[in-house]
Structure 1
């Protein structure tokens, strides 16, 4: 079997295709959550905590003043951008909560399905059981 045919067989398996679809959808879903955190949640959280933007919080590591915007401070030297870290942690918590809710919902759908009825016993097994029972008598 050639390498190309082995690769084709591997790539066309259902698991690989399912994984590829999951990665693509996960990337798109991640962008949606990023937008929700950065554009909707963080402005509200910033407003609740004094009206400032978390993404511009940093500590200058080269002695510069902390009054510049983060992008300008990065141009002047090293900065510890802890505000960006806070935003990413909140983003992760929201994403983890949403995924938890989705898995919980999917599990509830699986439990709601009735168990399949047991298969009917084949006639030859029924006949053998009847013979066995009559021999016991």
Structure 2
């Protein structure tokens, strides 16, 4: 049983999946930085300096000045955090779409190149023609 598990764990698909997860975790940090450090400040300037990370709707308890205090006071909908995560998701989805689109294009080009018949070189065609003419005599 241990031998079977070792064979399974060392198959290419499992190793590829592990590498994908590690790269995905690193990529997540990069996307978070892009959203929090580049995109959200621009959105804040466009919307008049609004900081979305602290935007919330308090459902229970007295109104509070900060999101953390509002969460401690009662039920709170932190829609600013949701907007930030939504932007993160859209960026990741767009980049993955572009990667898959590029991979599919490369696969189609490779398949087209493999399917295209290789043209016979001119000298080989000429030699075949001569051979055929000599065979007729």
TM bin (shorter chain): 0.7 to 0.9
Tell me, yes or no, if the aligned pair for 2:59 and 2:75 is still in contact at 8 Å.
yes
Corresponding position: 1:115 with 2:114? yes
Relative to its length, the structure with more helix (as a share) is: 2
Asked if 1:90 is matched to 2:109, the reply is: no
Report matched runs for 1:56-67 at 5 Å: 56-66=54-64
How many Å apart are 1:107 and its aligned residue? 2.2
TM-score normalised per structure 2:
0.75
Instruction: After superposition, give the CA deviation of every residue in 1:14-69 in whole Å (9 maximum; x if it has no partner).
Output: 11111111111111111211111111111111211121111111011223225x12
Q: What's 2:130 paired with? A: none
Do the aligned partners of 2:61 and 2:73 also contact (CA within 8 Å) in 1?
no
What is the aligned length?
Answer: 116
Partner of 2:99: 102
Go from structure 1 to structure 2 and tell me whether the alpha carbon gap of 1:6 and 1:60 turns closer, same or farther (over 3 Å shift).
Answer: same
CA distance in 2, matches of 1:88, 1:46: 15
Deviating more after overlay: 104-113 vs 89-98: 104-113
Name the Cα RMSD after superposition: 2.0
Structure 1 position 12 matched with structure 2 position 10: yes
TM-score (norm 1): 0.75
Instruction: Find the aligned partners of 2:96 and 2:17 in 1 and give their Cα distance.
Output: 17
Displacement after TM superposition at 1:117 (Å)? 6.8
2:56/2:78 contact within 8 Å kept:
yes
SS of the residue 2:114 aligns to: coil
- In structure 1, stretches of 5+ residues that fail to align are 119-137
